[in-house]
């Protein structure tokens, strides 16, 4: 959803900005732009396209100055072209702005500015911000006062970087409902939408909250409240992510690296939560009214969570797409409600809106989050981290399996505390959970087989993923992975639903991917597979049983794990299948078209 970056210090700003934008490219990649300043003059280069193409073409690394801001765009207002690329400037060309988010009242503000004689160059909502500040400067002597006055007129979500020629010592950054983090160096300061952008230079970070702005010099920063101007105390966080974690380390794509990191990530998720999980379980043990809210892949983790809670804790959480939650459930939430929010980034606008509503209604909020210090963590009463390390590939992989790990740990801890499941059984699945890295490693061992399978399937137009019970979520997630990076039409379905309609779509050779571990539903799965096979479908099964072999054209044999933990292992071959199909079809799996990693607008 756009990435922004800023730098002020002693280095050549354009080098830091280009490097940082490359690391933020997962947030949007339809256009790029940079502004630097030297001797009171702004230098701007921008255009439509990806940074690697534009670096040479525009000469992004040949820009003077030691302070500047940059932007990588995921278009919302105005098509991706050179003019709509950020930064945007005012009429005088002295103020430049980069923006992540949406200004909801921009039409009204633009009309007023047009009537005052301002000239606009682009179709973006962002450009009005530069003009608003320019306009306010007529009434205020001081840039910061003019900035505050202008920004208080904006409605919507925005993270902003602002540079002004006449104010040579400073850069300004603002946060309202879009992420922004300051990076604190020695004699240099950074700001970005996400930490990996400045990780090569510093691991000290300050997270801005909504309605705050930062005034930054090369040696200092001060964070203030946008409404009152009051100085805010901010904590400097030490981030334990390393640079290597945010680099490809020899893998062709981040996604492939992140798929292969899963054994380690799951191990970190387990050990990172061992000490706190029982305490958190105790704090939430008495809630009967439970909602789990999330979007996309995290929503699929929520679905798995629902099944585990039902099986182990004997409670039935309502799982709701966070974008629907506040419209449907407002009247039902109260102080006796527990809302569990699952979000990798901790910045997804819909999930944050659901959390805010829950807080407003005095519910208890527990978030399961990957990014330390992100907005969700600051809004919630309780937080469990997934400890997956930075995930750069747009398609979520290791953050999904770690979300599943954490929610499984939570359900096991609750079941132990509330005595809702057989002790021996709980011990058995707990031991299996600790062994999960080994099972994932075994599933990764099928990569060559899956690559060959992808070669065979690369021309197929439609895929159907079927599962039952807890693995309906695996079917949905497998299909989502395929759609988003290979652009092949895929549907995830409950296997039982097949004959209630979708079976009409099955013809000779249509691939059906059946997720069929041993457990409560295997027998029925086999019947559903046979129904599809009789209509000519090509059956690709994932399972651990011999019976499955007889009904499948291709069987990917998965090590036997308890059904409640099976989603953690079974998704791995499906991630690999989606990845290899995407690569074979010539797509960049790290940057799927039209998508961005954190969706910071509703
Ligand atoms: C899909 C994917 C998205 C995210 C969704 C929620 O691969 O990554 O569907 O899962 O945008 O993001 P978070 O978890 O950051 O709230």
Given a cut of 80, is residue 76 above it in pLDDT?
Answer: no
Full 3-state SS string of 297-320: HHHHHHHHHHHHHHHHHCCCCEEE
Is the CB of residue 349 below 6 angstroms from any atom belonging to ligand 1? no
* Of the candidates 380, 386, 424, 423, the residue with the CA atom closest to the CA atom of residue 408: 386
Ligand 1 centre to CA of 560 (Å) is 28
Q: 52: which 2 tokens?
A: 């690697």
Predicted model pTM: 0.85
CA distance 269 to 272: 5
Which pLDDT does position 28 carry in this prediction? 78
Q: Is the pLDDT of residue 1 over 80?
A: no
d(CA 309, CA 316): 7
Predicted confidence (pLDDT) at residue 597 exceeds the cutoff of 90: no
- H or E segment at 213? strand 212-216
Between strands 212-216 and 231-232, the pairing is: unpaired
Percent of the chain exceeding pLDDT 70 equals 100
Q: How far is CA 342 from the centre of its chain?
A: 11
Nearest to 469 by CA among 409, 391, 523: 523
- In this predicted structure, the answer to whether residue 374 has a pLDDT above a threshold of 90 is no
Identify the pLDDT of residue 437: 97
pLDDT at 221: 97
pLDDT at 13 over 80: yes
Distance 296 CA to ligand 1 centre (A): 5
For residue 77, the model assigns a pLDDT of 76
| Nearest in space to 171 (alpha carbons), one of 208, 124, 218, 138 | 218
pLDDT tops 90 at residue 149: yes
On whether the CB atoms of residues 440 and 260 are closer than 8 A, the answer is no
| SS3 of 49-86 | CCHHHHHHHHCCCCCCCCEEEEEEECCCCCCCCCCCCC
Give the dihedral sign, CA 555/561/563/569: negative
Hey, which residues are catalytic here? 2, 597
User: Among the atoms of ligand 1, which is closest to the Cα of residue 599?
Assistant: 11
Stated as kind and residue range, the H or E segment containing 364 is: strand 364-369
Predicted local confidence at residue 311, as pLDDT: 97
Please list, residue by residue across 276-302, b when 16 or more beta carbons sit within 10 angstroms of its beta carbon and e when fewer do: ebbebbeebeebeebbbbbbbbbbbbb
pLDDT in tens, 446-487: 999 999 999 999 999 999 999 999 999 999 999 999 999 999
Instruction: Using the predicted structure, report yes or no on whether residue 602 has a pLDDT greater than 80.
Output: no
Nearest CA to ligand 1 atom 16: 343
Report residue 205 as tokens.
């970070």
The mean pLDDT value of the chain amounts to: 94
pLDDT at 594 over 90: no
Q: Which of 488, 486, 535, 538 is nearest to 513 (CA)?
A: 538
* Residue 552, pLDDT above cutoff 90: yes
**Could you tell me the distance, in angstroms and rounded to a whole number, from the CA of residue 87 to the centre of ligand 1?**
27
Res 598: pLDDT: 74
Q: Confidence band (pLDDT; 50, 70, 90) for 264?
A: very high
596 has pLDDT over 90: no
User: Mean of the pLDDT values across residues 197-211?
Assistant: 94
Q: Which of 371, 403, 414 lies closest to 295, judged by CA? A: 403
């Amino acid at each position: 959803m756009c990435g922004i970056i800023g730098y002020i210090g002693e280095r050549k700003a354009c080098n830091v900005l280009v490097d940082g934008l490359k690391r933020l490219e997962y947030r949007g990649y339809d256009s790029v732009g940079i502004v630097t300043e030297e001797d009171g003059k702004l230098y701007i280069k921008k255009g439509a396209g990806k940074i690697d193409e534009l670096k040479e073409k525009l000469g992004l690394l040949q820009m003077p100055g030691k302070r500047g801001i940059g932007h990588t765009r995921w278009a919302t207002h105005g098509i991706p072209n050179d003019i709509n690329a950020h930064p945007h400037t005012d009429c005088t060309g002295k103020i430049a702005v980069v923006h992540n988010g949406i200004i909801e009242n921009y039409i009204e503000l633009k009309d007023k500015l047009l009537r005052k004689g301002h000239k606009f160059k682009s179709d973006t909502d962002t450009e009005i911000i530069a003009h608003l500040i320019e306009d306010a400067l007529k009434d205020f002597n001081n840039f910061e006062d003019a900035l505050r006055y202008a920004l208080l007129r904006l409605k919507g979500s925005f993270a902003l970087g602002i540079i002004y020629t006449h104010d040579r010592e400073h850069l300004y950054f603002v946060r309202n409902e879009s992420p922004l983090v300051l990076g604190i160096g020695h004699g240099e300061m950074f700001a970005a939408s996400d930490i990996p952008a400045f990780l090569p230079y510093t691991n000290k970070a300050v997270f801005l909250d909504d309605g705050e702005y930062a005034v930054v010099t090369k040696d200092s920063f001060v964070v203030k409240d946008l409404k009152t101007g009051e100085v805010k105390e901010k904590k400097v966080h030490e981030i334990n992510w390393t640079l290597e974690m945010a680099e490809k380390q020899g893998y062709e794509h981040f996604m492939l690296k992140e798929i292969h990191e899963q054994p380690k990530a799951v191990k970190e998720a387990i050990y990172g939560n061992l000490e706190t999980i029982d305490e958190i379980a105790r704090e939430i043990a008495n809630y009967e009214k439970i909602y789990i809210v999330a979007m996309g892949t995290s929503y699929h983790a929520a679905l798995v969570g629902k099944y585990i809670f039902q099986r182990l804790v004997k409670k039935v959480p309502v799982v709701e797409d966070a974008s629907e939650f506040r419209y449907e459930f407002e009247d039902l939430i109260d102080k006796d409600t527990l809302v569990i929010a699952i979000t990798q980034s901790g910045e997804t606008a819909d999930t944050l809106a659901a959390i805010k509503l829950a807080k407003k209604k005095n519910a208890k909020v527990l978030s399961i989050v990957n990014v330390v210090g992100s907005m969700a963590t600051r809004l919630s009463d309780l937080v469990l981290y997934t400890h997956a390390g930075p995930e750069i590939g747009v398609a979520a992989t290791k953050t999904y399996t770690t979300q599943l790990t954490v929610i499984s740990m939570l359900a096991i801890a609750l079941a132990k505390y509330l005595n809702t499941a057989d002790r021996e059984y709980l011990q058995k699945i707990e031991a299996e959970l600790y062994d999960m890295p080994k099972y994932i490693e075994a599933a990764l061992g099928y990569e060559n087989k899956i690559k060959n399978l992808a070669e065979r399937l690369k021309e197929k137009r439609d895929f159907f993923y079927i599962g039952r019970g807890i693995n309906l979520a695996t079917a949905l997630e497998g299909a989502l992975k395929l759609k988003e990076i290979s652009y092949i039409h895929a549907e995830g379905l409950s296997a039982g639903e097949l004959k209630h309609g979708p079976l009409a779509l099955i013809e000779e050779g249509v691939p059906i991917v059946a997720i069929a571990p041993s457990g409560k539903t295997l027998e029925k799965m086999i019947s559903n597979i046979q129904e599809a096979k009789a209509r000519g479908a090509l059956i690709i099964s994932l399972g651990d049983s011999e019976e499955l072999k007889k009904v499948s054209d291709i069987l990917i044999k998965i090590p036997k794990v308890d059904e409640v933990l099976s989603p953690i292992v079974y998704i791995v071959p499906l991630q690999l299948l989606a990845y290899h199909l995407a690569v074979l079809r010539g797509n960049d799996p790290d940057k799927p078209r039209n998508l961005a990693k954190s969706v910071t607008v509703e």
